[in-house]
Structure 1
Amino acid sequence: MFNKMKGCAVIAFGLMILVLNATARPSNDVPCKDPVFALMPCELFFVGYGPTTPNPDCCQSAQDVLKQADTTEKRRVLCDCFKHIAKAFDYRSDRAKQFPQLCKIDAWVPIDTDVDCNS
């Protein structure tokens, strides 16, 4: 049963990437598809089909994504990207809120449909 759910999550995640590729605009060298691909090790954590804590590869990938967002404008673009992902994908908002603490990330860009990316 778990493998079937995992397979459905992977298919849904793949469809979301196709949607993002078709709709996301690159801006300031942070196209939406790059952080999405980088955070693929986090997929099962965010959708709730995996363990209740992100795996080390997931946390490292998140750190790497954050390093690429090294200016305020790039962080805004990343925030918009994550907001778009949150609207397009069935994720667990409770896990997204816990994510920075679980991965020990101080300045994480929120994954939230209601976040104001301009503040």
Structure 2
Amino acid sequence: MKYSSRVLVSASTMAALIILILLVPESEGAISCSDVIKDLRPCVNYLKSGSGNPPSACCAGASSLASATSTTADKKTACSCIKSAAQKMTIQTQLAQALPGNCGITLSVQISPNVDCSKIS
């Protein structure tokens, strides 16, 4: 009788652990396209027809994106989101390439409609 109650307790404990695992998000730091778009939205007008230095809200968003893309998975997700968005509008390539430097940050993802996101590590 003691043996069957131990098995029952172990099975109950295992079931509880499985439920907890299923309830926890896959990755707490995982970035979504909505996060990427939200961060770079203040840059759209600048990238389409701007000149000079980017607006401070743009640099703040780009900085936030740089902080949020620390893993390879996050970088690839951000890259795909940016590439898709950039394909839907005409941006000035020079401004897009210079954006991180003009904001004083390092962005591990290119802002380009032609980037190969599979090569990001």
**Shorter-chain TM-score: what band?**
0.5 to 0.7
Tell me the residue number matched to 2:65.
65
CA deviation string 1:57-114 (max 9, x = no partner): 2111111112111201110110111111111122211210111110111233101122
Question: Take 1:74 and 1:36, find their aligned partners in 2: how far apart are those partners?
Answer: 14
Q: Distance in 1 between matches of 2:91 and 2:64?
A: 21
Matches within 5 A, 1:41-60: 41-48=42-49, 50-60=50-60
Matching residue of 1:12 = none
Counterparts of 2:35 and 2:107, CA distance in 1: 19
Cα distance, 1:51 vs. partner?
Answer: 4.0
Q: Do the aligned partners of 1:66 and 1:108 also contact (CA within 8 Å) in 2? A: yes
Give the structure-2-normalised TM-score: 0.67
Count of residue correspondences: 92
Identical positions, percent:
27
Paired residues of 2:48 and 2:91 also in contact (CA < 8 A):
yes
Equivalence for 2:19? none
Q: Which runs of 5+ in 1 are unaligned?
A: 1-26
8 Å CA contact retained: 1:45, 1:52: no
For 1:1-119, list aligned pairs within 5 A: 29-48=30-49, 50-119=50-119
Q: What is the CA–CA distance in structure 2 between the aligned matches of 1:109 and 1:99, rounded to whole Å?
A: 11
Structure with the greater alpha carbon radius of gyration: 2
**Cα RMSD for the two superposed structures:** 1.9
Question: What TM-score do the two structures reach when normalised by structure 1?
Answer: 0.68
Superposed structure 1 runs of 4+ greater than 3 Å apart: none
